[in-house]
């Protein structure tokens, strides 16, 4: 682990140099917070420096890249991942067949619903390649002693033989995120003092002495693995619009068993289970509306207890801008119809309005100032709700396709608008760490970046430019919702409804 972490920070420093033309548009925004340079990622991957086997088994004798058939078989830490994914896929297939019994479902273009081919996870022709590295010290509020986390993001790829004995590489719709702690508490810097969060942040932001950032020589830095798979694609039909579903799973590292075990997803509310249980419904309402929890919920830093959470999530895209059954919270607020047997909602309008009024009197609220704001936060605080917001399908960081000689335009952009727009907030937190200040970990809604006074995003699609999300004026009062009053458009653009959207629209040139 130590050698890998030294090289990881070195990579962050190198990114300050010239970026490849394909990444030029977003490289400056991501400087110090993410690595998406294709040439650098290729070197780190081809050199077996930051591959999954090298990080999980540093003592392993390198005998070439581990394809997926060997990866899961030879690394015991990963043994529980394939069966857990299989179980979720079988459950998904059963639910899909029950919902649309007349549709065919299977692998290949001959089916109405085209499934992810699970054979790709046990194939000698596929492997995970390094697609990016992301600094998430902005998540230090989850575990302050580790200064947040670093995510190494891998993309599944298939390598087919060519007639000239070379290979054709094709990226497949799955990411595998190895999440490690940003620091090991046993690490030291000058004078034998434990390395500080400030020093780690400085080495990401500046050309600092990264060589002294040495991780543990064991598994102490490992935290979890996150997987995201596009499990199906269903073209538009008489039964439904076009839909693509993504399966999210998390596997937490267990130091006792030295394996990654299936775990709940952070803040992924188990809607159906909560709605079906009167006691759980009341407990969740009371917990979330408690003053301290509501304050953190408003700021986007709430950590919902595990008893309310799910171990898997299916992200349906596109989900639209307004509340619908495709969104994770749907059915929890008054006026929304939830799933089967959902019964009463978790939150009535009076519950929310009363709690917000008391919170406003305390000066607690920064973002949520209405029932609509509460509903939007309840969606985007979840994994699936966030992935539905300004994502590239169900992904936020697909990475640049450095495998292709001439990647398509769709693969040149390394990250989603939501990801790119959030980089200023993340950099602000790194800067606070680096200068010894207490960071402000709060975040705005996923649809609109929290700029913290910066004008760097002004006029862009990320804030108020063409295609940005904006607040529509209420048809009755003629005013925008109080939670979204600052969501305006740049000069020359107006906020216009997209499809059937009522509260949130998009900034476009006025045509009438």
pLDDT in tens, 266-294: 999 999 999 999 999 999 999 999 999 99
Helix (H, G, I), strand (E, B) or coil at 244: strand
User: Is 334 or 238 the better-scoring residue by pLDDT?
Assistant: 334
Comparing CA positions, the residue from 480, 476, 455 lying closest to residue 372 is 480
Is it the case that residue 401 has pLDDT exceeding 90? no
State the pLDDT at residue 30: 84
Give the Å distances, CA to CA, from 275 to 21, 373, 383: 50, 21, 19
The secondary structure of residue 276, as a DSSP letter, is T
- Pairing label, strands 313-317, 243-254: antiparallel
Higher-confidence position of 447 and 8: 447
Classify residue 376 by burial, with Cβ atoms within 10 Å: 0-12, 13-18, 19+: buried
Q: Flag the least confident range among 10-24, 105-119, 193-207.
A: 10-24
pLDDT at res. 195: 87
Going by the DSSP 8-state scheme, the letter that residue 395 receives in this structure is B
Report the alpha-carbon angle 166-172-309, nearest 5.
150
Q: What is the pLDDT of residue 88?
A: 98
3-state secondary structure 140-165: CCCCHHHCCEEEEEEEEEEEEECCCC
Dist. CA 380–CA 277, nearest whole Å: 23
> How would you class 162 by CB atoms within 10 Å of its CB: exposed for 0-12, middle for 13-18, buried for 19 or more?
exposed
Average pLDDT over residues 494-506: 86
Residue 126 tokens read as: 């596929």
Residue 9 has pLDDT above 90, yes or no: no
**Band of pLDDT at residue 448, cut at 50, 70 and 90:** very high
**Res 407 pLDDT > 50:** yes
Q: What is the pLDDT of residue 14?
A: 38
Q: What pLDDT does residue 64 have?
A: 76
Residue 397 confidence (pLDDT) above 80: yes
Q: Which residues pair with 177 in a beta bridge?
A: 153, 226
**Of the candidate ranges 99-108, 130-139, 243-252, 444-453, the one whose mean pLDDT is the lowest:** 444-453
pLDDT band at 190 (very low <50, low <70, confident <90, very high): low
CA R_g for the chain: 23
pLDDT on residue 11: 44
Question: What pLDDT was estimated at residue 65?
Answer: 84
Determine the average pLDDT of the residues in 34-45.
Answer: 88
Tokens of 188: 């030291």
- pLDDT-derived band of residue 336, with 50, 70 and 90 as boundaries? confident
Q: Provide the pLDDT confidence category of residue 164 given band limits of 50, 70 and 90.
A: confident
Residue 49: per-residue pLDDT: 83
Confidence of residue 7 (pLDDT cuts 50, 70, 90): very low
Q: Which tens digits make up the pLDDT trace of 46-101?
A: 888 889 998 998 888 777 789 999 999 999 999 999 999 999 999 999 999 999 99
Residue with tokens 């089967």: 340
pLDDT tens for each residue of 348-373: 999 999 999 999 999 999 999 999 99
Q: Is the previous residue joined to 209 through a cis bond, with omega within 30 degrees of 0?
A: no
Q: How confident is the model at residue 374 (pLDDT cuts 50, 70, 90)?
A: very high
What is the reported pLDDT for 21?
34
For the chain, report the end-to-end CA distance as a whole number of angstroms.
60
User: Helix H segments across 245-325?
Assistant: 271-275, 278-289, 291-299
pLDDT band at 429 (very low <50, low <70, confident <90, very high): very high
Rounded Cα distance, 341 and 281, in Å: 13
- Work out whether strand 313-317 and strand 149-161 pair parallel, antiparallel, or are unpaired: unpaired
Q: Say yes or no to pLDDT of 511 above 70.
A: yes
**Segment among 145-159, 198-212, 373-387 with least mean pLDDT:** 198-212
Token pair in block for residue 434: 């680096």
Quick: pLDDT tens for 218-262: 688 999 999 999 999 999 888 888 999 999 999 999 999 999 999
Residue 468: the pLDDT is: 95
State the DSSP string of 404-457.
SSS--HHHHS-S-HHHHHTHHHHHHHHHHHHTTPPP------TTS---TT--TT
Peptide bond into 318 cis (omega under 30): yes
133: its two tokens: 């590295």
pLDDT band at 338 (very low <50, low <70, confident <90, very high): low
Nearest alpha carbon to residue 329 among 279, 395, 377, 295: 377
| pLDDT of amino acid 19 | 35
Q: What is the dihedral of CA 408, 411, 417, 418, to 10 degrees?
A: 160
Q: On the CB side of 141, how many CA atoms lie within 13 Å of its CA?
A: 16
DSSP 312: -
**24 or 162: which leads in pLDDT:** 162
Task: Judge whether 452 and 59 are in contact, CB under 8 Å.
Answer: no
| Distance in angstroms (rounded) separating the CA atoms of residues 10 and 394 | 30
pLDDT over 50 (residue 38): yes
The first and second tokens of residue 464, run together, are 């108020």
pLDDT classification of 475: cutoffs 50, 70, 90: low
Give the least confident one: 194-198, 269-273, 449-453.
449-453
The first and second tokens of residue 344, run together, are 């009463």
Of the two residues 25 and 159, the one the predictor is more confident about is: 159
In angstroms, rounded to a whole number, what is the distance separating the alpha carbons of residues 46 and 222? 22
Closest among 209, 204, 205, 198 to 433, alpha carbons compared: 198
More confident residue, 336 or 52: 52
Cα angle, residue 312 at apex, residues 307 and 313 outer, rounded to 5°: 110
**Cα→Cα distances 419→18, 204, 425, 450, Å:** 21, 18, 11, 12
- Predicted pLDDT of residue 16: 36
> What are the backbone dihedrals phi and psi of residue 231, each rounded to the nearest 5 degrees, phi first?
-80, -25
Residue 109 gets which letter from DSSP? Answer: T
* Least reliable range by pLDDT among 167-181, 204-218, 280-294, 480-494: 204-218
- Measured CA to CA, the distance from residue 213 to residue 200 in angstroms comes to 8
């Amino acid at each position: 682990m130590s050698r890998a972490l030294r090289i990881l920070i070195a990579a962050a420093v190198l990114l300050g140099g010239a970026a490849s033309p394909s990444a030029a548009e977003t490289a400056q925004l991501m400087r110090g917070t993410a690595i998406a340079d294709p040439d650098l990622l290729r070197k780190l991957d081809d050199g077996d420096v930051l591959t999954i086997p090298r990080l999980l088994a540093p003592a392993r004798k390198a005998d070439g890249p581990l394809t997926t058939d060997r990866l899961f078989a030879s690394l015991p830490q990963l043994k529980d991942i394939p069966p857990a994914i299989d179980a979720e896929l079988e459950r998904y297939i059963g639910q899909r067949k029950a919902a649309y019994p007349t549709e065919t479902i299977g692998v290949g273009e001959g089916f109405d619903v085209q499934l992810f081919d699970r054979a790709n996870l046990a194939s000698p022709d596929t492997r995970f390649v390094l697609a990016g590295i992301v600094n998430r010290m902005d998540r230090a509020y989850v575990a302050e002693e580790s200064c947040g986390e670093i995510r190494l993001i891998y993309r599944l790829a298939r390598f087919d033989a060519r007639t000239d004995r070379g290979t054709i590489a094709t990226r497949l719709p799955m990411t595998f995120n190895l999440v490690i702690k940003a620091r090991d508490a046993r690490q030291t810097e000058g004078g034998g003092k434990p390395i500080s969060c400030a020093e780690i942040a400085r080495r990401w932001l500046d050309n600092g002495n990264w060589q002294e950032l040495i991780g543990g020589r064991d598994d102490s830095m490992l935290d979890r693995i996150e997987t995201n798979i596009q499990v199906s694609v269903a073209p538009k039909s008489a039964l439904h619009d076009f839909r693509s579903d993504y399966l999210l799973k998390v596997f937490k590292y267990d130091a006792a068993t030295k394996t990654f075990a299936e775990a709940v997803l952070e803040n992924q509310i188990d809607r159906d289970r909560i709605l079906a249980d009167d006691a759980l419904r009341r407990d969740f309402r009371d917990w979330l509306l408690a003053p301290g929890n509501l304050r953190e919920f408003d700021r986007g830093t709430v950590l919902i207890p595990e008893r309310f959470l799910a171990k898997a999530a299916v992200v349906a895209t596109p989900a639209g801008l307004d509340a619908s059954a495709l969104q994770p919270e749907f059915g929890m607020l008054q006026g929304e119809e939830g799933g089967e047997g959902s019964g009463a909602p978790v939150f009535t309008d009076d519950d929310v309005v009363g709690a917000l009024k008391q919170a406003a009197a305390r000066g607690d609220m920064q973002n949520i100032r209405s029932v609509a704001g509460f509903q939007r936060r309840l969606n985007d605080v979840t994994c699936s709700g966030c992935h539905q917001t300004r994502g590239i399908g169900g992904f936020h960081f697909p990475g640049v396709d450095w495998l292709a000689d001439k990647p398509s335009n769709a693969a040149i952009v390394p990250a989603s608008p939501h990801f790119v727009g959030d980089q200023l907030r993340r950099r602000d937190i790194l800067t606070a760490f680096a200068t010894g200040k207490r960071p402000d970990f709060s975040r705005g809604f996923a649809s609109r970046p929290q700029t913290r006074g910066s004008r760097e995003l002004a006029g862009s699609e990320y804030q108020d430019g063409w295609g940005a999300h904006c607040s529509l004026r209420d048809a009755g009062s003629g005013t925008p919702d109080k939670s979204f009053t600052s969501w305006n458009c740049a000069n020359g653009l107006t906020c216009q409804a997209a499809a059937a959207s009522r509260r949130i629209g998009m900034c476009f040139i006025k045509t009438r």
